Each structure stands twice: as C-alpha cells, then as structure tokens.
Amino acid sequence: METKGCCRKPFRKAVVGGSFDRLHRGHKELLDLACKVAESLIVGLADGPLIESKPLADKILPFEEREISLREFLNSRGVSYEIVKIFDPIGPAADIEDADVIIVSTESYRGALAVNE
C-alpha cells in the first residue's frame, strides 16, 4: 500500500507571535502546534511598545535573552524558522504573502483578526 503524502504537513509557512518571556508550557504548546502543522515558521518576537504596554513590563526579560531561549526551543524541534522583531500586534504578518496560516493564542487572537482585514 502506498503512503505517499501521509506525513506531509498541511501548511508550508505559519506565522506565530508573542513575547515568549520565560518560555512556559503555554508558549511551548503554541509553538509545538505551529511546528506540527507547518514546514517553516515566521516567529514574531515582541519588543518595544508591545512589551512596554504589558503588566509588569519591567520584569520581562530583554529581547536578546528571550530570543536565545526561543531559538533553543525551536532548534530542539528541528523546524525551519525565522525570528523577526515585532512592535505591534500585527507585525509583518500582513505583508508575508506566502504565509498560509496564523497560529494564535487567546491573547494574540485579536491581532490575527486585524491581519485578516
């Protein structure tokens, strides 16, 4: 029996974003979902106004530390990815023409709706 295409992921490129401060179970589940459904990821990592507007913003790790942690996690998943710095909820998602899907959490859902407008 031929199983051609049985393991192909449904999407070529997924977009996912967040602060990813102190990677926790929720972050990892969101990223794992993105890894399961897409061959490659564009990961928007919040900085600037997106971080400054959060509660306890002064406790959030610097961008560079969050990026290192995110890279370590994504490398452990063997997924192709690009991390981009984002300053607003939409980030570059609206301009990425070859993105097939946006992976969201309840926290980022409203930003994804704005991308689709």
- Residue 50 pLDDT exceeds 80: yes
Count of residues for the chain?
117
Rounded average pLDDT over 20-35: 97
pLDDT of residue 116: 63
Rounded average pLDDT over 40-65: 94
Look at residues 24, 13, 33 and name the one whose alpha carbon lies nearest to residue 95: 13
Taking the model in full, what pTM does it have?
0.85
Give 89's pLDDT tier (boundaries 50, 70, 90): confident
Mean pLDDT, rounded, of the chain: 88
| 116: Cβ contacts below 8 Å, ≥ 6 apart | 102
Domains of the chain with CATH codes: 11-116 (3.40.50.620)
As beta bridge partners, residue 81 has 41
